[in-house]
Structure formats: structure tokens, C-alpha cells
Amino acid sequence: MKLSDLKIIVTGGASGMGAYFAKQLAAAGAQVAAGDVNEALLAELPAGVHRRKLNVADPADCEAFVAWANEAMGGLNGLINNAGILRDGLLVKKDRTTGEIKKLSNAEWDAVIGVNLTGATIMVREVVAKMAETGQKPGVIINMSSVARHGNRGQSNYVSAKAALAANTVTWAREFAPFGIRVTCIAPGMVETPMTQGMNQKARDALVANIPVGRIGVPDDLWLAAKFCLECDYFNARCLDVDGGLVM
């Protein structure tokens, strides 16, 4: 698919990779509808990008956003499922000083699953339903997974969500083939975004030291992968690892 033919939603589009994707797509001639909970940062996107507040953890908001995006762009044929949050912590740990047993809270689990998995799934459901209803084809979806999907200490909630997204990329590619919709996946490693900038510095430095290419990734590294997923009509039901060779 040509980038200029896209009418595409980008979730988590106000900052980090989402904002970078939205800007690159708009510059390539695509119509872009960016959604995020951060309306102030959404307002900083280029004027040509359609913008609206979106909380992917709210199913009704997802449905309303998709309907709005379809109307605003005069159609809909793409989704980059990028919205995500971190609430890291060991599932169970023992305080070294007091001996107290501490557990990952239900709230921390629910928050990450609600945004990174349930929200992403609802967005796929609503986008595909709208495309099936309107007969728009071909279409393409990119799910943003993570190298952490293979397992990473202190990220039970995040790993669960990202592993499920990668697996459901295959499920959805098979389910949506009759609608002419491809489903692809990108699994970033360490990338310079506001999310990773908020990491514990010691943990961040240790991860960067284990990247064979010797540097942290930048959004343009992921844009090259996204561009391939969007443009290559024979790429489907697969996950691209873009991680510099990092093994967690």
C-alpha cells in the first residue's frame, strides 16, 4: 500500500514513537488521525494531522474515536496500535531491610493490561468492524509489541500484554483476511522515548550495555520498520524485532 493512500489511526500519538509516526505519515501524504489522553501534546502535532483525545482503556471512547476518524478522513484503512504505559514491579518481592513481602498491586496489573492489551484489542475490533461495514479495502494494522514479550524481570503485566499482542497478530491476520486486512507487528527494543526516559537509570544503563549495536534506538529506527509493514503487501501475520540485537 502506498503511504499516500493511507487513512490511518495512530494511538498514543501525542509523544514518543506515536508522534513520530504521525508526523512521518502526514509528511508522506497520508491522512492521519492521532489519539492520546494528553490533549496538550496532541495540539503540538502538525496542523494536517486530525487530533482528538482518546483513552483506549475506555471501550466507548474507542468506538467513538474510530467513528470520528472515519468521518474526518473520509474513510479508514489503517491502524498503528501504539498506546502503552508502564507500571513495572516484581510480582512478589521481599524487602531486604524489613523482610516484608510486597506484591504487585491489582491496580498496577489492571492499568497496564487495560491500556496495552484490552485497549489495543478494542481498537483493532472497532477499526476492523468499521472497515467491514464500509467495505474499505485493502487495510493494514500494526501492533506495537516489545522485545520484552519473551520475558523480562519486573514486567509481568507488560510482558503479558505485549506477548498477547504478538500472538494475536497471527490470530487476527487469519480472521481478517476475508476483509482484505493485513495484521503485522513490530517489537521494539530500547528506544529513546518519554517512556524509557522515565526508567530507573541503573536498569536503563544495564540494558543499553547489552545492545550489540552499541546504542539505544531512536524513533526513526522504528519508523523504517513501520514503513515496511505498511508498504509491503506480502508481509502479514509476522512480528519484526527492531532491537539492535538485544536479548533480555
- Rg of the chain in Å (alpha carbons): 18
* Three-class secondary structure of residue 90 per DSSP: coil
Contacts of 220 (CB under 8 A, 6+ apart): 20
DSSP state of 8: E
CA distance 108 to 106: 5
CA distance 236 to 196: 28
Catalytic positions are 158
**pLDDT tens, the chain, 248 aa long:** 999 999 999 999 999 999 999 999 999 999 999 999 999 999 999 999 999 999 999 999 999 999 999 999 999 999 999 999 999 999 999 999 999 999 999 999 999 999 999 999 999 999 999 999 999 999 999 999 999 999 999 999 999 999 999 999 999 999 999 999 999 999 999 998 877 777 778 877 888 888 999 899 999 999 999 999 999 999 999 999 999 998 77
Q: What is the CATH number of domain 3-241?
A: 3.40.50.720
Spatial CA neighbour of 74 closest among 126, 34, 31:
31
The secondary structure element, H or E, covering residue 27 is helix 16-27
Sequence-ordered strand ranges (E) for 82-157:
92-94, 101-103, 139-144
Q: How many residues does the chain have?
A: 248
Q: Domain locations in the chain?
A: 3-241
CA distance 11 to 143: 10
pTM exceeds 0.85: yes
Burial classification of residue 125, based on how many CB atoms lie within 10 Å of its CB (0-12 exposed, 13-18 middle, 19 or more buried): middle
